[in-house]
Amino acid sequence: MEWLNYHHLYYFWTVAKEGSIARACGKLNLAQPTISGQLRQLEESIGAKLFMKSGRNLVLTDTGHLVNRYAEEIFDAGRELLDVLQGRPRGRPMRFLVGVSDVLPKLMVFRILQAVLKMPEPVRLVCYEDDTEGLLLKLSSHGLDMILTDAPVPASARTRTFNHDLGSCGVTFCATPGVAGGIRRNFPASLDGAPFLLPVEGSVLRRSLEQWFDRNHIRPSIIGEFEDSALLKVFGQAGAGVFAIPSAVEKDVQAQYGVAVAGRTGQIVERFYAVSVERRLKHPAVVAVSEAAQLLFDAAAK
């Protein structure tokens, strides 16, 4: 039987955390040739490259991401063992790695994922934010358990994944109370010429808003476009303009940002998906997210 050399694995794990062999040398107090040689031996035993060059740094290959994930769990278990031996017992949390599409509203992500924090068994939630394409690469290399996104992954995608519909809701338009009151009186026609804050091009909500404006012959005055949904809301809170949010988090946005509802529409539908490599959901945290999301969207529909 072949055995994994855990010294080699530890050096690899340290290099992955530090981003370069030079920084790992300082951490481990070892010479660069020593660590480089250990990494080569680990790659030879595995039969695959674990790193590739990116400027002055090293980045993980797909195999490297997979090995690093197991290394995290192995050395976390080692730390737990030391705690137990020193009289500090602790339950080992299940790691739940989630990729979040960078176009999703942060409050929406929180409402969907907060069920994980209430699970009976301890869970360590690890969130990564990127565009969907980058997250799919991470998912395909087993670096993620699930992706949250606002659009299903097409069947033509290079990665074999499955879309799980979490639910949908309409859209609410918010603004400072004074602005919202004026918009509300003749909504949606009152949005024509009104100052408006849009998400950047490429998001599903941006396309849906533009199509809805065209159908209703509305031409708002675009004050700004934002990639970060939280920053967009801060500008709205300061009175820069009207902005659109999923109706499922309407009350949360009002409470957090002190804004008021200017109007609502069911003609724009915001959909949310969990993407996984499982056709049938089995990971307990993914199942908990799916069940909680259904309750969230059912409540928003009432």
Question: Which residue do the tokens 């959909």 mark?
Answer: 271
Query: Is pLDDT of 145 > 60?
Result: yes
- pLDDT at residue 64, rounded to an integer: 87
**For the stretch 6-44, what's the b/e string if a residue is b when 16 or more beta carbons lie within 10 angstroms of its beta carbon?**
eebbbbbbbbbebeebeebbeebeeeeeebeebbeebbe
Is CATH 3.20.20.330 the right assignment for the domain spanning 94-163+272-301? no
- pLDDT for 1 equals 36
Let me know: does 8 contact 41? Beta carbons within 8 Å.
Answer: yes
Residue 214's Cβ-count burial label (10 Å; 0-12, 13-18, 19+) is exposed
Q: What whole-number distance in Å separates Cα of residue 79 and Cα of residue 92?
A: 10
- N-terminal to C-terminal alpha carbon distance within the chain: 60
Residues in the chain: 302
The structure tokens listed for 130 are: 């990127």
3-state SS class at 113: helix
- The residue with greater pLDDT, 46 or 87, is 46
**27-43 average pLDDT score:** 88
**How many Å is the Cα radius of gyration of the chain?**
24
Whether cis (ω within 30° of 0) applies to the bond prior to 188 is yes
pTM of the model as a whole = 0.68
pLDDT in tens, 229-272: 999 999 999 999 999 999 999 999 999 999 999 999 999 999 99
Among the four given CATH numbers 2.60.120.10, 2.60.120.380, 2.40.30.330, 1.10.10.10, the one describing domain 6-85 = 1.10.10.10
- At residue 2, does pLDDT exceed 70? no
- Average pLDDT, rounded, for the chain: 88
Q: Show the tokens assigned to 252.
A: 């949360």
From 9-13, 68-72, 75-79, 186-190, the region with the lowest mean pLDDT: 75-79
Measure the CA–CA gap between 271 and 152, rounded to whole angstroms: 9
Burial class (CB in 10 A: 0-12, 13-18, 19+), 97: buried
**pLDDT of 79-110, one tens digit each?**
777 765 665 555 667 788 999 998 888 999 99
Q: Note the pLDDT of residue 192.
A: 96
Q: What is the pLDDT of residues 157-191, one digit of tens each?
A: 777 788 999 999 999 999 999 999 999 999 999 99
Rounded Cα distance, 280 and 273, in Å: 14
Task: Choose between 3 and 286: higher pLDDT.
Answer: 286
- Would you say 292 and 114 are in contact if contact means Cβ atoms under 8 Å apart? yes
Domains 6-85 and 168-271 belong to one CATH topology:
no
The reported pLDDT for the residue numbered 280 is: 78
Q: What pLDDT sits at residue 261?
A: 96
| Per-residue pLDDT at 85 | 63
Q: Specify the fold of 168-271.
A: D-Maltodextrin-Binding Protein; domain 2 (3.40.190)
What is the CB neighbour count within 10 angstroms for residue 130?
15
- Rounded distance, CA 21 to CA 190, Å? 60
- DSSP letter at 242 equals B
**Structural domain spans, the chain:** 6-85, 94-163+272-301, 168-271
| CA distance linking residue 108 with residue 248, whole number of Å | 8
Contact call for residues 276 and 164 (beta carbons, < 8 A): yes
Residue 56 has pLDDT above 80, yes or no: no
